[in-house]
């Protein structure tokens, strides 16, 4: 079997990839939402993999792995890897999890990142009011069964950033002109006492309102100074939160600063989390070997794919580090891939970040998802060969852009 083509199409919010073979077996995957600017690079990777045997996944990846980088520049490499596993599973007639060593759990826990859910009592994505946020958290628990919910706080929350600029919550946060996409990244600063008190009170109040029904996690940056990150973590120790994520470094930053995270982690009982932006196992080595964090959250669409994610999970387990993989915008194919790899992880697995269909019609253009696969905050592992989900091509074709009309041809 040989790869004959690599095609791309933008469907809804995601770039979709199709690895085409001469055996009539295709592999599909999605790139994280809103990364359309990567589309022109598909041709670059196509030239590197055409003619290769897609079932020799590692052999193909050795051709392109060095051509990626930290988020978002490793996304096409990572998504190609998932499409290759889709082909390998289909060719062998088995679900991908069997090729990754076999499953150790029949269902996998998932968590909800609040701004990924559009159906909430209070639709404001970046609320800074703990009362309305608590109502949303409890709604997600009661309707969908989520046992862990993550919300944006500190510099990851534009509402907080605006307060930092205008209400004195930070010393050196200013309006950015012209505006940039990741506004919060440009506004990192030491917090004032007012800012620190706001964050600590927010978490305590949310915990009081939610009680012990839901595990609370917070996406907090990047942008916090290490001294503030430690004060904040210590200030919420009695809240027993699931984790504080990306406080110092994080989204779209090409470095880890493992030494800074290590100093924070070693001096608090609050779980510290990072890792979604990191590319390849080599760039997790220092964080794992120095036990710089309690929890790692690689995204399979950033880290180099699902086999790379599995390796990191195994190595992290040897060092007592937990896993909560990222994936909120990875789409339906990303959800399927996350399920395949997560069911194979050791006991350090907590939950993966559930990618909902955006737009909702995505569920109408795919098939093979079993009825009731998502229930009570868990995804039941299903046994369809490959990644486990396929396009319904007649339905999906209706959503193709004119320039992508040959995607399924």
The per-residue pLDDT for range 3-22, each reduced to its tens digit, is: 999 999 999 999 999 999 99
Sequence-ordered list of residues with C-beta below 8 angstroms from that of 96, at least 6 positions apart, any chain: 85, 86, 88, 89, 306, 337, 340, 341, 386, 387, 388
Percent residues over pLDDT 90 in the chain:
89
**156-180 pLDDT, tens digit each:** 998 898 899 999 999 998 887 776 6
**20-68 pLDDT, tens digit each:** 999 999 999 999 999 999 999 999 999 999 999 999 999 999 999 999 9
Sign of CA dihedral 189, 192, 198, 200: positive
Question: How far is the C-alpha of 188 from the C-alpha of 195, rounded, in Å?
Answer: 12
Helix or strand or coil: residue 172? coil
Question: Do β-strands 378-380 and 374-375 pair in parallel, antiparallel, or remain unpaired?
Answer: antiparallel
Residue 185 has pLDDT above 70, yes or no: no
Cis previous bond, 359, omega within 30: yes
Q: Rg of the chain over CA atoms, in angstroms?
A: 21
**Contact by Cβ (8 Å): 277, 251:** yes
Report residue 183's pLDDT band, with 50, 70 and 90 as the boundaries. Answer: low
**62-111 pLDDT, tens digit each:** 999 999 999 999 999 999 999 999 999 999 999 999 999 999 999 999 99
Helix or strand or coil: residue 259? helix
Taking alpha carbons only, the member of 94, 103, 81 closest to residue 30 is 81
Q: What CATH homologous superfamily does 98-387 map to?
A: Enolase-like C-terminal domain (3.20.20.120)
Residue 252 has pLDDT above 70, yes or no: yes
Mean pLDDT for the stretch of residues 148-162: 92
User: What residues does CATH 3.20.20.120 cover in the chain?
Assistant: 98-387
The two three-digit tokens of residue 359, written as one number: 């737009």
Q: What is the pTM of this model?
A: 0.96
Mean pLDDT of the chain: 95
What per-residue confidence (pLDDT) applies to 115? 65
Report residue 123's pLDDT band, with 50, 70 and 90 as the boundaries. Answer: confident
**What is the CATH number that goes with domain 3-94+393-404?**
3.30.390.10
User: What residues does CATH 3.30.390.10 cover in the chain?
Assistant: 3-94+393-404
């Amino acid at each position: 079997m040989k790869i004959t083509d690599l095609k791309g199409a933008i469907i809804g919010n995601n770039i979709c990839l199709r690895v085409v073979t001469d055996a009539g077996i295709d592999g599909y995957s999605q790139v994280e939402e809103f990364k359309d600017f990567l589309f022109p690079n598909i041709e670059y990777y196509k030239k590197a993999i055409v003619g290769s045997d897609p079932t020799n996944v590692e052999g193909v990846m050795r051709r392109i792995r060095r051509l990626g980088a930290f988020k978002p520049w490793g996304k096409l490499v990572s998504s190609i890897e998932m499409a290759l596993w889709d082909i390998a599973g289909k060719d062998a007639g088995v679900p991908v999890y069997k090729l990754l060593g076999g499953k150790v759990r029949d269902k996998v826990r998932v968590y909800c990142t609040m701004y990924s859910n559009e159906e909430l009592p209070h639709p404001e994505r970046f609320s800074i009011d703990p009362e309305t946020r608590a109502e949303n958290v409890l709604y997600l628990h009661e309707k969908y069964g989520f046992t862990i919910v993550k919300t944006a706080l500190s510099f990851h929350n534009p509402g907080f950033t605006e307060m930092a600029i205008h209400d004195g919550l930070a010393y050196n946060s200013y309006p950015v002109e012209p505006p940039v996409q990741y506004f919060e990244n440009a506004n990192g600063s030491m917090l004032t006492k007012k800012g620190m008190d706001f964050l600590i009170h927010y978490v305590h109040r949310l915990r009081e309102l939610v009680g012990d029904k839901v595990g609370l996690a917070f996406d907090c940056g990047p942008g916090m100074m290490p001294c503030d990150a430690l004060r904040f973590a210590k200030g919420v120790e009695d809240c027993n939160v699931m984790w504080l994520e990306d406080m110092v470094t994080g989204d779209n930053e090409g470095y880890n600063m493992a030494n800074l995270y290590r100093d924070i982690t070693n001096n608090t009982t609050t779980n510290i989390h990072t890792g979604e932006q990191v590319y390849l196992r080599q760039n997790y080595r220092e964080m794992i070997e120095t036990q710089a964090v309690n929890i790692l959250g690689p995204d399979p669409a950033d880290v180099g794919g699902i086999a790379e994610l599995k390796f990191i999970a195994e190595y992290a387990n040897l060092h007592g580090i937990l896993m909560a993989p990222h994936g909120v915008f990875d789409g339906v194919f990303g959800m399927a891939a996350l399920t395949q790899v997560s069911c194979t992880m050791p006991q350090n697995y907590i939950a993966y970040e559930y990618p909902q269909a955006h737009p909702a019609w995505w569920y109408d253009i795919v098939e093979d998802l079993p009825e009731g696969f998502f229930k009570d905050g868990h995804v039941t592992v299903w046994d369809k060969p490959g990644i486990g989900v396929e396009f319904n091509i007649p339905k999906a074709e209706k959503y193709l852009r004119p320039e992508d009309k040959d995607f399924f041809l």
